[in-house]
Structure 1
Amino acid sequence: MEKIVILTGAGISAESGLGTFRDAGGLWAQHRIEDVATPEGFARDPGLVQRFYNARRVQAAGARPNAAHEALARLQADWPGEVVIVTQNVDNLHERGGARGVLHMHGRLAGALCTACGHRWTAPMEMRAGEPCPACRAAAARPDIVWFGEMPYYMDEIFGHLETAGLFAAIGTSGQVYPAAGFVQEATAAGAHTVELNLEPSATVSRFAETRFGPATRTVPEWVAELLAG
């Protein structure tokens, strides 16, 4: 049975109450991206960055998986072939919805990273500027988040999956952030059928063979039900 590779973006978690950085009035609207989502911003004001991600961590902890997360977990469980979920999201709603082996290409709010020795550990709900690394004790802890200008995680693994996919789906993505925006081209080149499920057309909508528009909590369960029905 063909392999299914699914890319998810902020749109799948929006209905769980987690806003994107393009939403007006949310956490992102209160800060410049350069100040809270770049290595340079962290170097300038680590306290601001830690407080920003502390707030995001609290917000994510209060969110609940929605019907779209749960439908993808059901697809993973019931599809006779492999289903790989790649997400640009840093929340853990896929896992809490029942998904397994999710590739978090932009890192995780639940993770901490030492910039001195590279050690990773589970982040406390509140991190402080100068937080010590439990491995080397350097005051160099940061959120384990891929910031703008940094290389996303798992890229070799992801491209390997795209090369062997029979079906590629992008759900709730803007198509404006690379390298993820280029995944549809990689999958198409490998011969996969491609589908976009989104609230509205993305910047890369013309590259998909199939499109479905509407709230993820409606379109994703419907799509999964059709796949499983054969």
Structure 2
Amino acid sequence: MLMDLWTQKGIITLFACATQMCAFLMLGATECFLLAVMAYDRYVAICNPLHYPLVMNHKFCIQLVSACWISGIPVHIGMTVQIFTLPFCECNQINHFFCDIPPMLKLACGDIFVNEMVVYICAVLFVTLPFMLILGSYSRIISTILKLPSNTGRTKAFSTCSSHLIVVVLFYGSATVTYLKPQSNQYKGIDKLLSLFYTILTPMFNPMIYSLRNKDVTEALRRVLPKSLAMRDNRS
């Protein structure tokens, strides 16, 4: 994308397009599973705090992260091969920011029903299923938080989960709508807009969202923002 912005050509070979799609799908699936693992981590920390060091030990964390990275690789390689072995029509212009599944299927000729079903099944396995695990974890978390006797404990528990919840809503909301809604020409503009959320905006906001939980960062912002506003007022 950076190369296209620099050269203003917007040309990509078929092999490079397939490579881009495969990498995007594998990284997207990993992100989904990692968010589910993070929800489980918060569930153990809030619902079973005394057992947290025993449950979330270093070895188990490495196993979880390794499983997140490895689980989607063979499936998405197979899906990429299946899509790029389709016969494509004469039009070779991808109406999208990058090589994604919906715009590539729109260029294919013939019956793509089987391919769409494979996409829906993979979306359920790699997007919806982790999302349901996150909902299950947070239902238990919220139930536990509401039972806490002090407001201070509730506030601290909610602050622990707030950054993760924001990222989940941004990422899963846009990705779920994109891959589980019916394919239609009237959604072209919406597809592009939603793709910006889970490919650019969410990764860009991640450091900001998670850093706001850091006390040093929060204090630095509190010191910097009043100074910036004061300097702007003096200039005006």
Compute the TM-score of the two structures, normalised by the length of structure 1.
0.34
**Structure in which a larger fraction of residues adopt helix:** 2
For the pair shown, the structure with the greater C-alpha radius of gyration is 2
> What is the TM-score of this pair, normalised by structure 2?
0.34
